[in-house]
Amino acid sequence: MDLGRCADFTGAPDGLVEILGARIHRRGITLPTLFMLSLDLDGEHHRLNKARHLAVNRATWQTQRVAFSAQSATVKIEGEMTCTPEQMVNAPYLDPDGTEVFCANTEIGDARLVISRRSPRVPWRWREDRRLEGLGRAHFEVGGRVRDPSVTRPHTLVT
């Protein structure tokens, strides 16, 4: 499971985006990533996490970048969260079945969003409504069974 969050966008004090990508393994087959997005902005709450959204939502997760697009009938949200390898830590942990997995994590990444709405004159077209940027304010993490060698900073357990 991969996730991300940004709650501090320039010029949008109530802006909050949360993203979640889930890869399901069934009988030795990995299904395509299911991607969900939630956006609170300007008093509106967009929850793009229902089956009708999952059919069109898309995301690509890499260690230092996640790019995504999600939409409903009235709003489309496209964006990315990025960072450098130096801005990440690598945290090993055990899956419930005992398999070692790795999580590359940042708390100081950048988030950029483009929010589009249906054009009132041409309803099959989208028009850009707003851009949001949260530099150094995004958290995202990418999990996997193989440690990414570009992320050299280990997670330090504090007890």
- Report pLDDT digits (tens) over 74-110: 999 999 999 999 999 998 888 888 888 888 999 999 9
How many residues belong to the chain?
A: 159
Give residue 14's Cα distance to chain centre.
18
The partner residues of 72 in beta bridges, in order of sequence, read none
Cβ atoms of 75 and 46 within 8 Å: the answer is yes
Neighbouring residues of 60: CB distance < 8 A, sequence distance ≥ 6: 66, 67, 68
Higher pLDDT, 17 or 120: 17
User: Would you say residue 153 lies in a domain?
Assistant: no
pLDDT band at 158 (very low <50, low <70, confident <90, very high): confident
Q: Where in the sequence is the domain holding 132, given as residue range(s)?
A: 2-144
Q: How many domains does the chain have?
A: 1
| Backbone angles phi and psi of 73, in degrees to 5 | -70, -20
Please give the structure tokens belonging to residue 159. 């007890």
Q: pLDDT tens digits for 9-29?
A: 999 999 999 999 988 877 888
User: Would you say residue 76 lies in a domain?
Assistant: yes
User: Would you say residue 159 lies in a domain?
Assistant: no
DSSP of 113-139, one letter per residue? Answer: EEEEEE-SSSTTSEEEEEEEEEEEEEE
- Please give the biggest Cα pair distance in the chain: 60
Q: The whole model's pTM is what?
A: 0.88
Q: pLDDT tens digits for 30-74?
A: 877 899 999 999 999 999 999 999 999 999 998 899 999 999 999
